[in-house]
Amino acid sequence: MITRKQMLALLAITLMWGINWPMMKYSLRELSPLYFRALTMSGGAIGLFLFYRARGLRMLPQGREWRSVVALGLPNMLGWHTAAILGVKELASGRAAILGFTMPIWTVLLGTLFLGEKLTVRISIAVLAVAAAIGLLISNELGALAGRPVGIVWMELAALLWAVGTLMMRRANITLPVETLTVWMLMLTSLCLWVLAFVLEPWPRWQFSAPMWGSLVYGALINYGFSQIIWFGMARNLPPATSAMSIMAVPLIGTLAATLILGEWPQWEDYVAMVCVMAAIAAVLLPSRRARTATP
Instruction: Please report, for the chain, the start and end positions of each structural domain, with discontinuous segments joined by +.
Output: 4-294
What per-residue confidence (pLDDT) applies to 295?
41
What per-residue confidence (pLDDT) applies to 296?
44
How many other CB atoms are there within 10 angstroms of residue 175's CB atom?
Answer: 13
Which position has the higher pLDDT, 107 or 296?
107
Which position has the higher pLDDT, 139 or 200?
200
| Residue 294 pLDDT grade (very low, low, confident, very high; cuts 50, 70, 90) | very low
Q: What residue type is 225 in one-letter code? A: G
Q: What would you report as the CA-atom Rg of the chain, rounded to the nearest whole angstrom?
A: 19
Q: What residue type is 176 in one-letter code? A: L
Residues 114, 137: Cα–Cα separation, whole Å? 28
* Poorest-pLDDT segment among 81-90, 151-160, 223-232: 223-232
In order of 62, 74, 129, 210, 267, the CA distances from 190 in angstroms are 20, 11, 34, 24, 35
Residues 207, 198: Cα–Cα separation, whole Å? 18
What per-residue confidence (pLDDT) applies to 192?
98
| Residue 216 pLDDT grade (very low, low, confident, very high; cuts 50, 70, 90) | very high
What average pLDDT score do residues 204-229 get?
94
What per-residue confidence (pLDDT) applies to 289?
59
Percentage of the chain modeled with pLDDT above 70: 92
pLDDT greater than 90 at residue 246? no
What average pLDDT score do residues 249-266 get?
92
pLDDT, one tens digit per residue, over 178-205 is: 999 999 999 999 999 999 999 999 999 9
Which position has the higher pLDDT, 290 or 172?
172
Q: What is the DSSP string of 159-208?
A: HHHHHHHHHHHHH----S-HHHHHHHHHHHHHHHHHHHHHHHSPPP----
Which position has the higher pLDDT, 116 or 89?
89
pLDDT, one tens digit per residue, over 30-61 is: 999 999 999 999 999 999 999 999 999 999 99
